[in-house]
Structure 1
């Protein structure tokens, strides 16, 4: 039987990011930063989101009691409730989800339950924001733990993007746009705030996910000469390269430097302008890990997420979204050996689903996404009990003006079907 991620962290502290990650996340919710397991490179959010502390009674409940409460609440609430669970969530949470998927799939799944009064999103903050934007006005969206943020999303803030945009607009002011194509089209990855999605909506841009990034870039190139892609540099670079965009036409800007840290001519020649953001989990994967996997397992198939650095994607046999990775494994044969470069909860779940294959994570260090890991059955039980008592806890509400513009960019995303 495959060990749970929590068991791996607990029993192998020498091979984990931080053994404290196996403990209840409520101990870290009020601390600055992202808590145990976070990359040293993670940007500390400012201001730090201060969640409502989980009541002590829920902190002390046994796993069996928490699961029993969740099941009882789900049964009582019936069709009035829908629970969404991201692939990277811990197994203890995923087992209660009505839908499990990546960000693109869950954005669509929420739309299939228009009669539900409440959407409980077991993911991170930007996902719950997206659900609120797409939901009916009378629907409530709940994030069980408000401390479940995203370090990548925090690497691109509205003020910095606005300032960079103004510099670009000044540089491109003299370009001939008589053909109706814009000088630059903003594209934000789903892993971004509602404010940045609204920015894209206001400026003729679009949102993308790892599933439909290529389709989105094709759309953006039809609208404009170049793309400003944020916050994940790696997804932007890997997608652009796969579409034939030369690396020299994909400079990475630095919003903190004069002139964005790039020579004006490079900005004029660019096709894709990359923001210096990254995922702390996927940044951990290396070519050396792939080499080691191939040396230890001749014939191994390597598949990685496109948030991984370009050399890693180039060295792998395949790269794609979390759903792509799942389908890659499903299409394999019994006896195959597969090394995967993505978040450990998904890898561990795939290994359990396909016991007749050898499936392992490229990174030997057991390091789940520390912010996804903030969602715990204790928080889920607490918010569901609140609904039974007539109280909506940890509701996510996006400002109406922001939601209006963000919805424009999100609807363009939903229309850009993955290839």
Structure 2
């Protein structure tokens, strides 16, 4: 099976197929130079990008025009020269043309651990998105440099909740609910942020008795939070929060949605008081694309299909699927299946096609027939990887991600609580 990158380029040249945006075939450096108001081509192309989002400077021309073979040679030569001084981490959703050079591949939780477990590397090159690189900086040593090959590789979901909005939300909740613990010692509300959020929001949780969660341990984290609070403020992904809490028995009517553009988030005072989980108005643009109609189509074509979706999908999709779970859960479920199984997967296309290639004994396909990768993850290209590695060889650190100490200390506290919350 060809990679997503190769398929997109073939489509752009007139081959049969479908993508969500023909601009995907262009080099990411084309979009780095624009006064962008979106995240660029891909699933979140329609999302509005904050003016404060990081921008990537111009990639040197030599890397833009280099052939895939030349970039491969340069990357391998630089990695050989650097040896154990550098470790390259690659997220599951990354394009194959980059992931092939990763020393470790995983989801955001696994990569956070990988960063922490490599204290001897002088530099950690993170082929993912901005919040992941921030987390790696928080968990790595002070003598290590964390590098994001393209600073414009952000996350539209993470950007849907910023520190000013969350602080304002918290002030309103405190005014409405107070701060005094009940007879059982539980405080009125505790904050939980998904890993897919900025370091500032992780720091907010650390300062306010809260915690970070991943898609793997979200239920464990909510249990932890309910032991300490009567209700949870969960951000930025409403779908992970709703799907997880619903599976734990929390009624939907006790999970109001907080809209940061409205007073008290658009809730009534009674809804606020009665709530168990207050969900933020955020979502993943990739997982929002999946529908129940796609599941119905998959079942019609393959009656024995096993449908597994990511819990960032909307609730009706998760309910209609056979299972839901993290990217690691999906990969393990496929690996453990009987040969000849058929899977319809609801998550990012690069991972789905990689799983299909790695497991030829199965039939594996993406629920969404349109090739539409994560817009910002797709900003990482072999040209940027070659550039940052060759600058390291020359003794220069570029695109370093550095979280300030005022945020880092409480953020690490929230992350350590997350790491201790094992499913």
Q: TM-score, normalised by structure 2?
A: 0.96
Which of these residues, 24, 27, 30, is aligned with residue 30 of structure 2? Answer: 27
How far does residue 178 in structure 1 lie from its aligned partner after superposition?
Answer: 4.4
Q: Specify whether residues 222 and 30 from structure 1 end up closer, same or farther in structure 2 by C-alpha distance, changes over 3 A only.
A: farther
For residue 53 of structure 1, give the secondary structure of its aligned residue in structure 2: coil
How far does residue 74 in structure 1 lie from its aligned partner after superposition?
Answer: 1.1
How far does residue 136 in structure 1 lie from its aligned partner after superposition?
Answer: 0.8
User: Equivalents in 1 of 2:11, 2:378: separation in Å?
Assistant: 18
User: Equivalents in 2 of 1:108, 1:40: separation in Å?
Assistant: 31
User: Equivalents in 2 of 1:47, 1:173: separation in Å?
Assistant: 33
Q: Is the 8 A contact 2:44 2:374 kept in 1?
A: no
Q: Is the 8 A contact 2:179 2:187 kept in 1?
A: no
How far does residue 107 in structure 1 lie from its aligned partner after superposition?
Answer: 0.5
Residue 273 of structure 1 pairs with residue 284 of structure 2:
no
Match of 1:358 in 2: 363
Q: Is the 8 A contact 2:44 2:156 kept in 1?
A: no
Match of 2:353 in 1: 348
User: Equivalents in 1 of 2:187, 2:167: separation in Å?
Assistant: 17
Q: How does 1:213-252 map to 2 (within 5 A)?
A: 213-252=218-257
Q: Is the 8 A contact 2:307 2:321 kept in 1?
A: yes
Deviations 1:125-146 (A, max 9, x none): 0000011111111110000000
Residue 125 of structure 1 pairs with residue 130 of structure 2:
yes
User: Equivalents in 2 of 1:302, 1:348: separation in Å?
Assistant: 15
User: Equivalents in 1 of 2:232, 2:53: separation in Å?
Assistant: 31
More deviation, 294-303/254-263? 254-263
User: Equivalents in 2 of 1:88, 1:246: separation in Å?
Assistant: 33
Residue 76 of structure 1 pairs with residue 81 of structure 2:
yes
Which of these residues, 406, 417, 422, is aligned with residue 412 of structure 1? Answer: 417
For residue 32 of structure 2, give the secondary structure of its aligned residue in structure 1: coil
How far does residue 357 in structure 1 lie from its aligned partner after superposition?
Answer: 1.1
5+ residue gaps, structure 1, are none
How far does residue 253 in structure 1 lie from its aligned partner after superposition?
Answer: 1.2
Q: How does 1:91-106 map to 2 (within 5 A)?
A: 91-106=96-111
Match of 1:321 in 2: 326
How far does residue 331 in structure 1 lie from its aligned partner after superposition?
Answer: 1.5
Q: Is the 8 A contact 2:292 2:317 kept in 1?
A: yes
More deviation, 163-172/6-15? 6-15
Which of these residues, 72, 97, 101, is aligned with residue 67 of structure 1? Answer: 72
Q: Is the 8 A contact 1:43 1:155 kept in 2?
A: no
User: Equivalents in 1 of 2:319, 2:43: separation in Å?
Assistant: 26
How far does residue 40 in structure 1 lie from its aligned partner after superposition?
Answer: 5.0
For residue 59 of structure 1, give the secondary structure of its aligned residue in structure 2: helix
Q: TM-score, normalised by structure 1?
A: 0.97
Which of these residues, 44, 53, 58, is aligned with residue 53 of structure 1? Answer: 58
Residue 111 of structure 1 pairs with residue 116 of structure 2:
yes
Match of 1:85 in 2: 90
User: Equivalents in 1 of 2:403, 2:380: separation in Å?
Assistant: 21
5+ residue gaps, structure 2, are none
Q: Specify whether residues 387 and 415 from structure 1 end up closer, same or farther in structure 2 by C-alpha distance, changes over 3 A only.
A: same
Q: How does 1:97-246 map to 2 (within 5 A)?
A: 97-173=102-178, 176-246=181-251
How far does residue 12 in structure 1 lie from its aligned partner after superposition?
Answer: 3.5
User: Equivalents in 1 of 2:43, 2:404: separation in Å?
Assistant: 29
Aligned length: 417
For residue 238 of structure 1, give the secondary structure of its aligned residue in structure 2: helix
